[in-house]
Amino acid sequence: MLQSFVVTLRETLEAALIVGIVLSYLAKIKQTQYNKLIFISVGAGILASIIFAFVFTQLASGFEGRNEEIFEGVTMLITVVFLTFMILWMLRNKQISTDLQNKIDVAVKGSYKYGLFILVFIAIFREGIETVLYLWGIDRVNDGINIISALSGIVVAIVLGYIIFRTSLRVNLKVFFNLTSTLLIFFAAGLLAHGVHELQEAGVIPIVTEHVWDINPPVVEEGVFPLLHEKGFIGGFMKDLFGYNGNPSLIEVVSYFLYFIVAFGLWANINRKQRKLAPAP
Q: Is there a domain that residue 228 lies in?
A: no
Q: Is there a domain that residue 225 lies in?
A: no
**Whose CA is closest to 39, among 17, 14, 22?**
22
Q: Is there a domain that residue 253 lies in?
A: yes
In this prediction the pTM is 0.77
Cβ–Cβ < 8 Å for 170, 23: no
Q: Is there a domain that residue 272 lies in?
A: yes
Q: Is there a domain that residue 238 lies in?
A: no
Q: Tell me how many domains the chain contains.
A: 1
Q: Is there a domain that residue 224 lies in?
A: no
pLDDT tens digit sequence for 8-34: 888 888 888 888 888 877 887 787 888
pLDDT confidence tier of residue 256, bands split at 50, 70 and 90: very high
Q: Is there a domain that residue 177 lies in?
A: yes
Owning domain of residue 256? 2-212+248-277
At residue 262, the pLDDT reads 93
Kindly tell me if the per-residue pLDDT of 258 is higher than 90: yes
Q: Is there a domain that residue 236 lies in?
A: no
